[in-house]
Amino acid sequence: MAAAEAANCIMEVSCGQAESSEKPNAEDMTSKDYYFDSYAHFGIHEEMLKDEVRTLTYRNSMFHNRHLFKDKVVLDVGSGTGILCMFAAKAGARKVIGIECSSISDYAVKIVKANKLDHVVTIIKGKVEEVELPVEKVDIIISEWMGYCLFYESMLNTVLYARDKWLAPDGLIFPDRATLYVTAIEDRQYKDYKIHWWENVYGFDMSCIKDVAIKEPLVDVVDPKQLVTNACLIKEVDIYTVKVEDLTFTSPFCLQVKRNDYVHALVAYFNIEFTRCHKRTGFSTTRPGLHHRPGLQGPAVRAVLLHRLPDALRGALLPGPAGPARTQGLRHS
């Protein structure tokens, strides 16, 4: 399907919360425990910590704005290894509280102590919705809440809960602004590799799986040369004012075709900003060198678009049956 032959489409989104369960101590965990509590394994945190663009952006947002953190009480929602907690402590915070549900919190306690910051930083193991804080209000909330496609498996709902319960009236949130975009790409080679491959698997026809495979959102790197349309803003989120119900949304979009080519997928990417810094700070998943690996990155819904429209792709981002924020797939309409 050439790009000039466009399609109406619907992208479904939904959001789910993990079931509450008792977490074993990190030292006692087995491979079975890690299966059900993947964030307890150091590997996923190693990957996040080695994302220097994202990690250094968080550090700079604090270190370059010490006047905002000096003598403040800071809450880190989903504190992981405690890296953001320690940044906040080094930035001059009087008290830092990290809440972490997974068993990596056991190591976070040791890490904080090893770095002689345990007089400032306190790690609490548990769900934000269930724990009690040693303070009534906090001055600043920090969190690395973003998921794939911004909302998929994100912790935004939890951040909003913490904001409404503990943030002081004039408190700050780091980061506080997020924008989600969609664009379209050509990628026949990848489609052949991931979809048409099922037509002949070692001489057997398994093409019935194609219908499932084509609906599956994928997280991958996209070469900017594959872009065949402009980008369209899908959702803008102000963390100070957004409500949970706002995350169930419909967002019509129209992508203008830039060249005569094929459209094989829609790609979502996002930008994150710390607008209260004296110098605007943030990171993006859009351009090479800005986040993770080069190119656009996000769940790419790779499906052939079928209907004709002149020089444009039109569609709508709609809530799925289970609520906001989980990209389920692309349906032809």
Express each pLDDT in 180-211 by its tens digit.
998 888 888 878 888 889 999 999 999 999 88
Mean pLDDT, the chain, integer = 78
Which range has highest mean pLDDT (47-61, 232-246, 263-277)? 232-246
Question: Which residues are catalytic, by number?
Answer: 144, 153
* Residues, the chain: 333
pLDDT of residue 10: 46
* Average pLDDT score over residue span 54-60: 92
pLDDT of residue 300: 36
Give the end-to-end CA distance of the chain in Å, rounded to a whole number.
16
> What is the Cα–Cα distance from 223 to 53, expressed in whole angstroms?
19
Confidence class for position 54, pLDDT limits 50, 70, 90 = confident
> What is the Cα–Cα distance from 218 to 301, expressed in whole angstroms?
6
> What is the Cα–Cα distance from 48 to 212, expressed in whole angstroms?
30
> What is the Cα–Cα distance from 73 to 170, expressed in whole angstroms?
13
pLDDT of residue 127: 94
**Contact predicate 296/285, CB 8 Å:** yes
Express each pLDDT in 241-298 by its tens digit.
999 999 888 888 888 888 888 888 888 889 999 999 988 889 888 753 333 333 333 3
With residue 110 as reference, give the H or E element that holds it: helix 104-114
Express each pLDDT in 111-143 by its tens digit.
999 999 999 999 999 999 999 999 999 999 999
* Average pLDDT score over residue span 70-88: 95
Greatest CA separation for the chain: 68
pLDDT of residue 325: 34
Residue 227's contacts (CB-CB under 8 Å, 6 or more residues apart) are: 183, 184, 185, 258, 296
* Average pLDDT score over residue span 49-54: 80
* Average pLDDT score over residue span 54-70: 94
pLDDT of residue 116: 97
How many CB atoms neighbour CB 201 within 10 A? 11
Confidence class for position 150, pLDDT limits 50, 70, 90 = confident
Using DSSP's 3-state secondary structure scheme, residue 172 falls into strand
Confidence class for position 18, pLDDT limits 50, 70, 90 = very low
Express each pLDDT in 153-169 by its tens digit.
778 999 999 999 999 99
Closest to 178 in 3D by CA, of 278, 269, 68, 61: 269
* Average pLDDT score over residue span 320-326: 40
Q: H-type helices in 31-103, by residue range?
A: 31-36, 42-49, 52-63, 66-69, 83-90
Kindly state the percentage of the chain with pLDDT values over 70.
72
* Average pLDDT score over residue span 46-52: 77
* Average pLDDT score over residue span 35-44: 55
| Architecture, CATH, for domain 1-16+177-333 | Distorted Sandwich (2.70)
Which range has highest mean pLDDT (26-35, 106-115, 141-150, 181-190)? 106-115
The phi-psi region of residue 43 (left if phi > 0; otherwise alpha if psi is between -120 and 50; otherwise beta) is: alpha
What string of DSSP letters covers 202-245? TTB--GGGHHHHTTS-EEEEE-GGGB-B--EEEEEEETTT--GG
- Domains of the chain, by residue range, sit at 1-16+177-333
